[in-house]
Amino acid sequence: MKDVESPGGYEPYRRYPVGGMSVDFAAIGIALLLWQGLGIESLFGDLAVAELIAVLFVAGPVVVAHEGTHYLAGRAQGLTPTVHWGLPTPYAVPLRQHVRRGQNLVVLLAPTVVLSGGALVVGSQVASPLVQSVCGFVVLVNTACAAGDLVGAVWLAWQPPGTVVYLDTAQEGAHELYARPESRRE
């Protein structure tokens, strides 16, 4: 992108080559795999209607916790994340900052590790069908919400150490840019 300068010693910024439809397919695939793998449908069968409604109300707070975890992870990495609660896609990301690869990986993966990992641990340790259903639903919703994070993290992990990322939002859409360190030729 021509209006954002990459840091000194880096190639010019380029747009991320992943996103859009690949993220949508990843989200659907993750949701289907988790639905089957965690046996969520069978867990719901053991619940009364009132309990099922309570489980479904978990979706909103999971999204809030997901974005809050991004925010806290960014702050822990010394970044200044911006939180936007707009629908259909709220976000908490470090906008208009040159973010190192490792920092970005922490921010991208934190909700999956903390929320989905925590729900898996709790759900596997507690015998209550309601707790297991809530935990299974948390894993399903959070991990499906994290599809873009996971696709971006996998792609970023393949980039050379030292790669930086720059995110911005504008009226024409989000700009997800990356720059690799310049090769040294001797």
* pLDDT exceeds 50 at position 186: no
- Give dist(CA 73, CA 156) in Å, integer: 17
Say if pTM beats, i.e. exceeds, 0.85: no
**What is the distance between the alpha carbons of residues 48 and 57, in angstroms, rounded to a whole number?**
15
State percent of the chain over pLDDT 70. 74
Q: Higher model confidence: residue 46 or residue 169?
A: 169
> Could you say which DSSP state residue 20 is in?
T
Within 10 Å of residue 15's Cβ, how many Cβ atoms?
11
pLDDT (0 to 100) of residue 56: 66
Q: Label residue 69 by pLDDT band (50, 70, 90).
A: very high
